[in-house]
């Protein structure tokens, strides 16, 4: 396990290397900088850094500048640069979803209520961030577009599916960016890029893209450098209507002030032990938690991990099967390798070859796993675990063109920790508390029961104060 006698790590500095969104908004409000200057600065950084990291698939520079010059930004984040993930429609821009099948898509004519909340807050969208094909993979290397590279090491993956959002934020192009999470797609790129990434509870946020899975897996929020930015964007986009499943929490500003009971899980549900650097990161986080007065004890996942992994793969693959059908109907012929990537086609094929009733049976077992998670969280306030089984992997290791059986094996070793909360509809966050000796970020995950975002944000503020990370600057940044 871990040595309880060790003390918490001590940070080298507490000073941020670049302002977060809250600070940029303050400077614009006080006249220290103008919205035009803030947008121009983001555009200049994007033009300088994009050839190195490839985080933006579609730019909206002229429109953002025109709005800034006309004084059309208003709200708490008026004029602060922003990116929308390219799985969601944004009026005036095409949605490619990381797929060759969407090249030539027309500009969107409407957006979702969730994305509209960012516009209403005054954020200056300068473009759309990259994503893997339809968000299926934990790396952003779509075959129809250049790969998105990690600013900490450009030979490594930025993660996925919000890889462009994370790379652009980590490099300092924007202070934060829209992201979404259907199996870890906020937490994984946050972990890989040294950012804070909170996945909200199911139903917590304003409506976004239509859901097609039998279980609503995907939720949306953002990736940020500071916890306070995440808390502020959360308050902007959470549901406040009478039918909301959770009472709104507003802007969380105070760190946690009570001790927690923490369950520590190191292995995946399938029994895999993460690589040494990940073990080091989680053990270090456990020591930090104890130094802050929290009680940490080992525990294990409350469900059959092997069966859960198989069932999640089946459910995840139904999205690819629906996509293949829709594209085939639009083309008037079966979708092939020139339309969809090998991984997408293989997932669709997996569903086609399932026996009758297999998907319904998988969903029933996943719902049972969700109930087991809820019962587990009556024993603990939060669960501490890895986000990933490895530090950021080399580009190509989990890309969509890898042979399907081999890719499945690699994914099993890499992403065995994040899907549980998506199935359970519960919140979880990746916190950037560790860097390897060669300078790669390794996030650690804290999960909680459904609706407990306030607790997680309070804990994140406490961890951020105890072990600041804002001073860490990636090699590819401005």
Active-site hit among 185, 230, 237, 344: 185
Question: Position of tokens 């992201």?
Answer: 179
Active-site hit among 161, 218, 237, 317: 161
Question: Position of tokens 């969700």?
Answer: 370
Rounded Cα–Cα distance for residues 71 and 64 (Å): 11
Rounded Cα–Cα distance for residues 338 and 111 (Å): 29
Alpha helices in 75-140, H assignment, sequence order: 113-120
85 tagged catalytic:
yes
Rounded Cα–Cα distance for residues 255 and 228 (Å): 10
Alpha helices in 238-304, H assignment, sequence order: 276-291
Per-residue 3-state assignment (H helix, E strand, C coil) for 147-166: CCEECCEEEEECCCCCHHHH
What's CA 242's distance to the chain center, in Å?
28
Active-site hit among 85, 199, 390, 454: 85
Q: Which of 251, 162, 238 is nearest to 203 (CA)?
A: 238
How many CB atoms neighbour CB 218 within 10 A? 21
Q: What single string gives the DSSP state of each residue in 170-192?
A: HHTSSSEEEEEESSSTTHHHHHH
Structure tokens that stand for 435 in this block = 């860097």
C-alpha pair distances (Å), 346 with each of 33, 141, 351: 51, 17, 9
226 tagged catalytic:
no
Rounded Cα–Cα distance for residues 464 and 440 (Å): 18
- Those residues with Cβ within 8 angstroms of residue 408's Cβ, 6 or more apart along the chain or in another chain: 313
199 tagged catalytic:
no
C-alpha pair distances (Å), 440 with each of 124, 193, 204, 286: 30, 8, 32, 20
Q: Which residues are catalytic?
A: 85, 161, 185
């Amino acid at each position: 396990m871990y040595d309880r006698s060790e003390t918490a790590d001590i940070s080298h500095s507490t000073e941020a290397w670049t302002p977060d969104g809250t600070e940029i908004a303050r400077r614009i409000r006080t006249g220290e900088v103008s919205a035009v200057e803030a947008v121009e600065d983001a555009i200049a950084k994007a033009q300088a850094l994009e050839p190195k990291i490839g985080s933006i698939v579609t730019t909206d520079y002229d429109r953002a500048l025109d709005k800034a010059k006309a004084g059309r930004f208003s709200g708490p984040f008026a004029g602060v640069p922003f990116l929308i993930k390219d799985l969601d429609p944004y009026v005036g821009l095409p949605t490619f979803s990381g797929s060759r099948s969407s090249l030539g898509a027309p500009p969107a004519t409407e957006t979702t209520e969730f994305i509209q909340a960012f516009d209403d807050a005054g954020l200056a969208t300068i473009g759309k961030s990259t994503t893997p094909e339809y968000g299926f993979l934990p790396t952003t290397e779509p075959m129809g577009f250049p790969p998105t590279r990690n600013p900490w090491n450009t030979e490594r993956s930025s993660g996925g599916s919000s890889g462009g959002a994370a790379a652009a934020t980590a490099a300092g192009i924007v202070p934060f960016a829209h992201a979404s999470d259907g199996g870890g797609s906020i937490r994984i790129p946050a972990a890989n890029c040294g950012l804070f990434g909170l996945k909200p509870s199911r139903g917590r946020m304003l409506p976004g893209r239509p859901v097609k899975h039998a279980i609503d897996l995907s939720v949306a929020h953002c990736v940020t450098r500071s916890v306070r930015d995440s808390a502020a964007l959360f308050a902007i986009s959470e549901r406040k209507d009478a039918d909301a499943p959770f009472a709104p929490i507003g802007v969380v500003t105070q760190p946690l002030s009570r001790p927690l009971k923490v369950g520590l899980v190191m292995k995946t549900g399938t029994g895999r032990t993460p690589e040494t650097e990940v073990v080091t990161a989680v053990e270090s986080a456990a020591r930090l938690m104890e130094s802050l007065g929290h009680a940490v004890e080992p525990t294990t996942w409350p469900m059959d991990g092997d069966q859960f992994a198989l069932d999640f793969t089946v459910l995840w693959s139904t999205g690819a099967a629906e996509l293949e059908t829709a594209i085939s109907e639009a083309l008037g012929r079966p979708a092939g390798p020139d339309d969809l990537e090998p991984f997408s086609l293989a997932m669709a094929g997996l569903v086609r070859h399932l026996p009758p009733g297999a998907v319904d049976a998988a969903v029933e077992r996943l719902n049972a796993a969700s109930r087991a998670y809820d019962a587990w969280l009556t024993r603990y306030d939060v669960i501490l675990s890895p986000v990933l089984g490895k530090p950021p992997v080399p580009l190509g290791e989990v890309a969509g063109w890898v042979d399907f059986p081999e890719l499945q094996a690699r994914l099993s070793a890499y992403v065995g920790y994040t899907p549980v909360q998506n199935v359970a509809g519960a919140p979880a966050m990746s916190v950037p508390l560790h860097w390897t000796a060669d300078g790669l970020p390794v996030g650690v995950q804290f999960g909680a029961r459904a609706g407990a975002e306030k607790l997680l944000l309070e804990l994140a503020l406490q961890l951020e104060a105890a072990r600041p990370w804002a001073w860490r600057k990636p090699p590819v940044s401005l």
